[in-house]
């Protein structure tokens, strides 16, 4: 991790303690960060070299808010959230019911200035992922409960998703989507999105390389993206997690490829003949007691037993008794590590009911 990346993450995390002292939870801080960074990124996209129409009404943009202080800032932020919540399409979905949870105007100003001082569009998605995942982990450790609040590093999620080889028209579902990392990674891979497309690089300033080379490379990468119909779905029992997932999908530019819904994993079912399910339910390490995790696995396993036989199911878990509580032995397993936690990716390729073995 570079010094610049570490500095940005330290700044964001450094605001946690004053916010906590003022009664703002990690979850609320994460929610407000999502709103504010979305507004800042939209402002960056509206200017050169992107010049995109972001759909944000005039008078309700980041530029209209970022220079204000005190009561003026609070009032403007409130009006922006209300206005965007009234919009149609993805803006309305993201900001529906959005409210300001940072009641201390001085702290809100500090957060706004911290965000305003960075170029978020050019920033690596790994940096933003590090920020979000770190706060998710802090929030999970703080509340010690709730689906959708657990933490798994993005590289591990990406490795899981790549096992499915996402493509347009392929059905992919995650019934324990949390902040939406699995569906978002699936959409990025299915679209063939170049990982560094919106990043900036130090080499862009080299005098020995014409600036047009970078623009040509970006255009080539965009030309290779797939534009089609996608059937990617994410669900979670926690409404706050689903809202966060929608925000994250919009920040990643794949909000039009994914459907997010509040849903119970134990009630998940699809009638389509083919499909792929990949999910990362709570482990029972810290965030859920093991008995609660086992109860979830039993209910989820019963639901998976009713799925059409040609569905592929991938479940990541660190629980040593996962297969017993899930109700089936995996067709294949892969050993993975979530930090220091040893996990296994349980893969079920043959969802048809198995015949009992003959008794000898």
**What pLDDT digit, counting tens, does each position of 177-204 carry?**
888 889 998 998 888 887 777 666 777 7
Q: Are 238 and 146 in contact (CB under 8 A)?
A: yes
d(CA 302, CA 313): 13
Q: Find tokens 């119970």 and name the residue.
A: 264
What pLDDT is attached to residue 147? Answer: 40
pLDDT in tens, 14-31: 777 778 777 887 778 878
Selection from 214, 210, 221, 161 nearest residue 190 by Cα: 161
Q: Find tokens 């959005």 and name the residue.
A: 98
d(CA 73, CA 61): 12
What pLDDT is attached to residue 323? Answer: 93
d(CA 214, CA 220): 10
d(CA 145, CA 139): 10
Q: Find tokens 């073995």 and name the residue.
A: 357
d(CA 44, CA 200): 13
What pLDDT is attached to residue 149? Answer: 41
What pLDDT is attached to residue 199? Answer: 67
Selection from 322, 9, 282, 14 nearest residue 152 by Cα: 282
Dig out the tokens for 82 from the structure.
């209300």
Contacts of the segment 95-98: beta carbons below 8 A, 24+ positions apart: 95/35, 98/35
d(CA 294, CA 241): 22
d(CA 300, CA 267): 8
Q: Which parts of the chain register pLDDT below 70?
A: 1-6, 124-155, 198-200, 283-289, 339, 351-360
Q: Are 189 and 166 in contact (CB under 8 A)?
A: yes
DSSP 98-112: -------HHHHHHHH
Q: What angle in degrees, to the nearest 10, is found between the helix axes of 26-46 and 105-116?
A: 40
Our CA angle for 1, 14, 195, nearest 5°, is 35
Number of Cβ atoms within 10 Å of the Cβ of 332 = 11
What pLDDT is attached to residue 68? Answer: 95
Query: What secondary structure letter does DSSP report for 192?
Result: T
Selection from 235, 233, 203, 198 nearest residue 218 by Cα: 198
Selection from 260, 232, 235 nearest residue 246 by Cα: 260
What pLDDT is attached to residue 233? Answer: 95
Selection from 228, 233, 218, 152 nearest residue 190 by Cα: 228
Dig out the tokens for 5 from the structure.
């990346």
Half-sphere exposure (CA, 13 Å, Cβ side) for 314?
22
């Amino acid at each position: 991790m570079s010094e610049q990346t570490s500095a940005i993450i330290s700044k964001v995390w450094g605001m946690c303690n004053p916010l906590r002292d003022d009664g703002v939870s990690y979850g609320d801080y994460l929610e407000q960060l999502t709103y504010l960074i979305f507004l800042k990124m939209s402002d960056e996209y509206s200017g050169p070299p992107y010049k995109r129409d972001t759909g944000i009404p005039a008078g309700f943009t980041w530029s209209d808010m970022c220079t204000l202080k005190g009561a003026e800032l609070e009032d403007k932020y409130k009006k922006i959230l209300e206005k965007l919540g009234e919009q149609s399409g993805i803006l309305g979905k993201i900001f529906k019911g959005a409210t300001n949870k940072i009641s201390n105007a001085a702290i809100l100003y500090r957060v706004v200035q911290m965000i305003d001082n960075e170029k978020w569009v050019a920033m690596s998605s790994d940096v933003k992922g590090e920020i979000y995942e770190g706060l998710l982990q802090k929030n999970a450790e703080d509340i010690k409960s709730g689906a959708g609040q657990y933490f798994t590093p993005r590289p591990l999620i990406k490795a899981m998703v790549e096992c499915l080889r996402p493509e347009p028209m392929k059905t992919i579902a995650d019934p324990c989507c949390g902040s939406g990392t699995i569906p978002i990674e699936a959409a990025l891979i299915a679209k063939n999105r170049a990982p560094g497309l919106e990043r900036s690089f130090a080499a862009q300033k080299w005098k020995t390389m014409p600036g047009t080379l970078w623009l040509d490379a970006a255009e080539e990468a965009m030309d290779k993206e797939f534009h089609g119909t996608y059937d990617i779905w994410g669900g979670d029992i926690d409404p706050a997690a689903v809202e966060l997932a929608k925000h994250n999908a919009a920040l990643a530019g794949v909000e039009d490829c994914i459907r997010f819904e509040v849903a119970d994993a134990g009630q998940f079912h699809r009638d389509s003949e083919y499909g792929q399910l990949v999910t990362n339910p709570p482990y029972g390490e810290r965030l859920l007691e093991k008995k609660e995790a086992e109860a979830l696995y039993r209910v989820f396993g019963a639901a998976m037993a009713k799925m059409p036989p040609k569905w592929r199911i991938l479940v990541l878990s660190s629980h040593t008794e996962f297969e017993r509580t899930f109700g089936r032995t995996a067709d294949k397993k892969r050993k993975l590590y979530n930090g220091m936690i040893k996990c296994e990716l349980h893969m079920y390729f043959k969802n048809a009911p198995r015949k009992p073995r003959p008794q000898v």
